[in-house]
Structure 1
Amino acid sequence: MGSSSVSALSLPCSQFSSINLTVREKPSNPHKIFQPKTCKTRLISSAGSFWSSSSARGVVLKSVPLAASVAILLWSSPAKAGFLSGLSGLESIPGPQLPQIDFLNRINEENQKKYAENDERFKSSPLVKQLLEKSKLNKEKNRQQIEDKYCIRGAEWGVGDCSAEGMSPADRENFIAALKQKAGVTD
């Protein structure tokens, strides 16, 4: 009975309609259930039975500061950053339509054609083609060096595709030496 009273006291008055409170009317008739009609009556009847025990009073006195803190946190308004904080900036506003000047448009089109021709000539130059070819070869060489390095490491540790786990110690040493010689690694 005490726990239903505690939950009834902590709820707002509008939520009492869904709670059934059981309060003894008289000690002689313990089976009769009293359900008040108004919120005020329910609060008084549940509070009367609630305040009868001293342990319940201690629980309420300890929970009041907690309830006040929670209420402040839940019902406080957020901080305002300033009067322009919710507005988008000037960059989102389209600028005015500028007048079109014919000779500037012609110059712009001529420049665009020149830039496209220069780009095409640059891409087809023999120097750029030679550098792109070198880059592809270097990429393949670097990939192979990385694979060799990890193969040597896997053989030494006994893991991976290059593992020398089932070999005798002499064969293992020869295998690792051959891998290092192929990769060009010197110890």
Structure 2
Amino acid sequence: MGSSSVSSLSLTLSQFSSITNFALSGKPYNPSKIFHSKTPKALTLSSTSSSHGVITKSVPLAASIAILLWSNPANAGFLSGFSGIESVPGPQLPQVDFLSRLNEENQKKYAENDARFKSSPIVKELLERSKLNKEKNRQQIEDKYCVRGAEWGVGDCSAEAMSPDDRDKFISMLKKKAGISD
């Protein structure tokens, strides 16, 4: 926090204190009546009881307002607003014709090889098996969660409203379906 914030804060607090003192006592703020100097280093309160009461009431209020007004923004780091070097485009490299032709030829070869690989009967069979296994595994997981929900009495498979005998039959049927042994 800079010195300008501190000076504006002290100015705000002194204005608030003078307004508070004027509102409570009906007299304008006069610091010489409240503080007087016995020694150059020490300041003490004056002996008037009315100004002492005003200070003791206004200081905590002024401190609370100062804490609320004295906000210090959080900084994420030194370069928190910097987008990074990866967002800056690199220099344009010179184009070489023979390299461009070689790159195009390689791209054509790669596209042909990918098409041949994807049309392979072995790959098609493996993809189909993978889809079937995915569905089977999803169903097994759902069945296990259904058994757990029935035992705990929560979720879609809850057996709370059933009689104890029906509940046990229902749970054993769910376990048999899920392949869980009792």
Fold shared by both chains (TM-score > 0.5): yes
TM-score w.r.t. the length of structure 2 is 0.56
Q: CA deviation at 1:88?
A: 7.1
2:94 to 87, 91, 99: 99
Q: 1:56 to 1:10 in 2, by over 3 A?
A: farther
2:179 to 180, 184, 187: 184
Partner residue, 1:48: 30
Q: Which amino acid aligns with 1:151?
A: C
Structure 1 Cα separation of the partners of residues 143 and 99 of structure 2: 60
1:138 to 116, 133, 144: 133
Task: Provide Cα deviations, 1:98-143, integer angstroms capped at 9, x if missing partner.
Answer: 3322111110110111111122122222222122111111111111
1:10 to 15, 22, 39: 15
Q: CA RMSD in A?
A: 4.5
TM-score w.r.t. the length of structure 1 is 0.54
Partner residue, 1:168: 163
Structure 2 Cα separation of the partners of residues 155 and 86 of structure 1: 52
* 1:23-172 mapped onto 2 (5 Å cutoff): 46-48=28-30, 51=33, 53-55=50-52, 58=55, 93-172=88-167
Structure 2 Cα separation of the partners of residues 95 and 139 of structure 1: 43
Structure 2 Cα separation of the partners of residues 158 and 85 of structure 1: 49
Q: Which amino acid aligns with 2:180?
A: V
Q: Which amino acid aligns with 2:30?
A: G
Instruction: State the percentage of identical aligned residues.
Output: 61
Q: 1:55 to 1:152 in 2, by over 3 A?
A: same
Structure 2 Cα separation of the partners of residues 8 and 98 of structure 1: 62
Q: Secondary structure in 2 aligned to 1:47?
A: coil
Q: CA deviation at 1:161?
A: 3.4
Q: Secondary structure in 1 aligned to 2:95?
A: coil
> Is residue 8–residue 46 contact of structure 1 (8 Å, CA) maintained in 2?
no
Q: Which amino acid aligns with 2:15?
A: S
Q: Secondary structure in 2 aligned to 1:153?
A: helix
Q: 1:88 to 1:50 in 2, by over 3 A?
A: same
The runs of 5 or more residues in structure 1 that have no matched partner are 1-6, 25-44
Between structure 1 and structure 2, the one with the greater Rg is 1
